[in-house]
Amino acid sequence: MNREITGLSSMATRAMLAELSEHIRRAHGIPVRFESAGGVEIARRVREGATADLIVLAEGALADLADEGHLLEGTLRPLWVSQVVAAVPETAPVPPLASESDLRAALLSARAIAYSTGPSGAALVELIARLDLRDALHGRLVQAPPGVSSGTLLTSGRADLAFQQHSELTGVPGVVVVGPLPGGTAIRSTFGGAVSAAAAEPETAREILDLLGSGIGARTARAAGMEPVCTGERPGA
């Protein structure tokens, strides 16, 4: 029996990787298990010597880990592109989000705005500053704890507007996804994978990384609201 291949990932790809791991186990006979947490937390674990064969994170975090020598040289590859979306409680009116003025109106009318840790949250804070709304929204931004969907702040009543990666808000009970941010305000993140420098099974990990970037990976990404960077589709993938 093949040794179980382990991986660490951010929450944005948790559901996708669970589905893909099951496909790889059934179709290729390789047991795979990913553990997911907030991206900042995963990067910290890797730096502190966490053992895993594969790492799946936002490309910026992966690039930093590669520069620090934590990833096997030549294995880092982009996999999927995700958009940040806005969401509201299912009991609230759905605001229009077709233009920058719509986004401004939604932000200014919100009592409290939930956002995540990691790259998408940082990008939202930067966007608010670029829109010159930092002072107007002072005291209204509520950051979800690491590894927790900002949608939970909607359902608990702590916020009435939330922003996060599409995959992390889709299917959250009590939450309605309004859609991606319009035009030049759009926030996109690329998620990639790499073999850990500490991998016990680096060649098998490379094989799994290829499968994540294959046709089945592309189809799973689209179902989760992401787009593949390059499908690499082939028969039997």
CATH 3.40.190.10 fits 5-80+191-228, yes or no: yes
User: Does pLDDT of 171 surpass 90?
Assistant: no
Output the six-digit token pair for 100: 């920058």
Could you state, in order of their start, the residue ranges of all structural domains in the chain? 5-80+191-228, 82-185
- The rounded distance, in Å, linking the Cα atoms of 27 and 74 is 26
**The predicted structure's pLDDT at residue 149:** 87
pLDDT digits (tens, 9 = 90+) for 3-28: 899 999 998 899 999 999 999 999 99
Fold of domain 82-185: D-Maltodextrin-Binding Protein; domain 2 (3.40.190)
* Same topology between domain 5-80+191-228 and domain 82-185: yes
pLDDT digits (tens, 9 = 90+) for 24-38: 999 999 999 999 998
Q: CB neighbours (10 Å) of residue 52?
A: 23
For the chain, percent of residues with pLDDT exceeding 90: 83
Output the CA torsion sign for 67, 68, 73, 78.
negative
